[in-house]
Amino acid sequence: MSNLHESLVQGEATLSVVGLGYVGLPIALAFAEHLDVIGFDINAERVAMMKKGIDPSGEIEPDDFQNKRIAFTHDAKDLARAKFHVVAVPTPIHASHQPDLTPLLAASKTVGQALKPGDVVVYESTVYPGCTEEDCVPVLEAESGLTMGEDFFVAYSPERINPGDKVNTIETIVKVVGACDEATLDVVARTYDLVVKAGTHRASSIRVAEASKIIENTQRDVNIALVNELSIIFNRIGINTYEVLEAAGTKWNFLKFQPGLVGGHCIGIDPYYLTWKSNKLGYHARVINSGRYVNDSMGLYVGKQTVKRLLARDINPLEARVLVMGLTFKENVSDIRNTKVIDVIRELESFNVQVDVVDPQASADEVKEEYDLDLKAAPDAGQYHAVIMAVNHREYVGMGEGDFKALLKAGTGTVVDVKGIFKGKTGSLDYWSL
């Protein structure tokens, strides 16, 4: 075991990364600057694009693929050449808000079939505490016929990548590592130290490492839920939420969270993994569940408020046409998974409002497949009763009163500004924000 790290560095052993999405591809390319890497993904089309230096997610530039020691493949048999395996597949939830371990267990099966004595498996997927040892290890053992702790070794090192963030990257974020024993912990930490300039934090156990990741997003979720609930209250009072937050933010210890739609594959999902585990242990997580309820309802709330603004202007929703600008789960990314903008759209459609959707970052094909929604290439000038700025992509942030008037019928109408970035920039137009 102690020689595995040296073998990797000297090119005598190979590292594999299983799952080449938003998490897996960046870490695979980072390792490939120092080590021989096998990049594996089950999607043959994605693999073909990466072989050409194209990131299907649009996060990584073509130049970043150059001069890397990596072989991309969709053939699971190639994993047998690796001694150190990093699993970075999605961990979504079911419609019932329960963990969906299907991708994780499928990846574990694939890796298990490739395992050899002395191999190390590191999981990066966000899970509840105990998942690695209770759910993944039995699959590895069943498929390989080997015993964890004797024949192969397991660690957990959660991904902390923030999609679209070019400042807080793999290299600059401390890497948390937990392992089945001290020797494995040392090997895994030293290996990540090759690519993580900020260094590694050695957790006392795999479960501590698992828990540390899941509470990062749970903490953000609960805090955002608080300001979302405050925005509902302040709307009824008749004061602007962002003005209140600006005033409160003058105190040194005020936490500067903002209201918004909480979606994506992290903050909007991870708390459900923790609450599910909590329920299994006989405890109902009241604060976390309440936060999830508030955040999950905000898309419906924005939709209803838009309809109210239309009615206040004597516009029949049956005759209304609304433009939604932005569909991805956050600004400046192409990822549409678990976007809460879709809740705004569906709520408007429930009132029979005609909704057009544009997004310069999203793939029209992916939107159609995921949501059965036709993405427009460009809005129709002068045709809308309301414009909803749902996602503040870089293409939109410079807009002003004239731009909105050009989209609205007769140059007048409602601007719904979810993130509050156009406050004071819409002139005489009817304006509302969270």
* Domain hosting residue 180, numbered range: 4-204
Single out the residue in 179, 204, 229 at which a domain terminates. 204
By DSSP bridging, strand 175-179 and strand 321-325 are unpaired
Residue type, 157: S
Using the predicted structure, report yes or no on whether residue 212 has a pLDDT greater than 70.
yes
Q: Tell me if 209 is assigned to some domain.
A: no
Q: Who's near 38: CB < 8 A, 6+ residues apart? A: 14, 15, 16, 17, 70, 71, 73, 78, 79, 81, 82
Same-domain check for residues 59 and 125: yes
- Say whether both 168 and 262 belong to one domain: no
**Is residue 191 domain-shared with residue 258, that is, in the same domain?**
no
Domain boundary among 149, 180, 204: 204
The model's pLDDT over 339-366, given as tens digits with 9 standing for 90+, comes to: 999 999 999 999 999 999 999 999 999 9
In angstroms, the first-to-last Cα distance of the chain is 54
Could you give the 3-state DSSP secondary structure of residue 337? coil
Rounded CA-CA distance 24/39 in Å is: 8
In whole angstroms, give the CA distance from residue 119 to residue 313: 67
**200/245 same-domain check:** no
Per-residue pLDDT tens over the stretch 126-180: 999 999 999 999 999 999 999 999 999 999 999 887 776 677 788 889 999 999 9
For the chain, the average pLDDT equals: 95
Residue 389: inside a domain, yes or no?
Answer: yes
- Model confidence, pTM: 0.92
Nearest to 353 by CA among 410, 397, 309, 396: 309
Same domain, 159 and 303: no
CATH number reported for the structural domain that contains residue 139 in this entry: 3.40.50.720
Residues 53 and 172 in one domain: yes
Q: Looking at the structure, do residues 61 and 186 belong to the same domain, yes or no?
A: yes
- 263-293, pLDDT tens digit by residue? 888 898 999 999 999 999 999 999 999 999 9
Q: Is residue 40 within 8 Å of 74, Cβ to Cβ?
A: yes
> 175, 204, 233 — which closes off a domain?
204
Q: How many structural domains is the chain composed of?
A: 2
238, 308, 383, 413, 421 from 416: Cα distances, Å = 16, 11, 16, 10, 11
Q: In 3D, which of 143, 135, 103, 90 has the Cα closest to residue 119?
A: 143
DSSP character string of 78-105: GGGG-SEEEE-----B-TTS-B--HHHH
Per-residue pLDDT tens for 313-348? 999 999 999 999 999 999 999 999 999 999 999 999
> Are 86 and 169 members of one domain?
yes
10 domain residue, yes or no: yes
Examine the domain organization and report whether 149 and 285 are in the same domain.
Answer: no
Residue 2 predicted with pLDDT over 80: no
- Whether 180 sits among the annotated catalytic residues: the reply is no
Residue listed under structure tokens 């870490």: 27
